[in-house]
Amino acid sequence: DAMVIQNPRYQVTQFGKPVTLSCSQTLNHNVMYWYQQKSSQAPKLLFHYYDKDFNNEADTPDNFQSRRPNTSFCFLDIRSPGLGDAAMYLCATSGGTSGPNTEAFFGQGTRLTVV
């Protein structure tokens, strides 16, 4: 039973062509995260939503945007992908009644290639 689902698993996009990655969850968690991970490095947090509140990391480029239309879905939009944006993009969720639970559960990731 997949709990955090990312689509697609592999995405090829052209340099400068907008691309959207999607994430859905069946855990009903109130926090959803987007991470970028490059070649065996640790995941790097781009931003997260706590319910509908969007929290951007200070060093996340403006090229990266996110939408969360409801509890279950969250999207990562890359407005003008550059070659340096090729990476694995990971969606994760965490939940809790009194605040974000720290156990983050990850999807399988989307491998983005920019050509």
- Contacts with another protein, residue ranges (CB under 8 A): 4, 6, 31, 40-43, 45, 48, 50, 55, 88, 90, 92, 94, 99-100, 102-109, 111
Q: How far is the CB of 28 from another protein (least distance, A)?
A: 17
Within 8 A by CB and 6+ apart from 42, the residues are: none
Give whichever of 18 and 103 is closer to another protein, judged by the CB atom: 103
Q: How far is the CB of 85 from another protein (least distance, A)?
A: 18
Give whichever of 72 and 88 is closer to another protein, judged by the CB atom: 88
> How far is 87 from 101, CA to CA, in rounded Å?
27
Q: State the burial class of residue 8 (Cβ atoms within 10 Å of its Cβ: 0-12, 13-18, 19+).
A: exposed
Q: How far is the CB of 64 from another protein (least distance, A)?
A: 17
| DSSP strand pairing (19-25 vs 73-78) | antiparallel
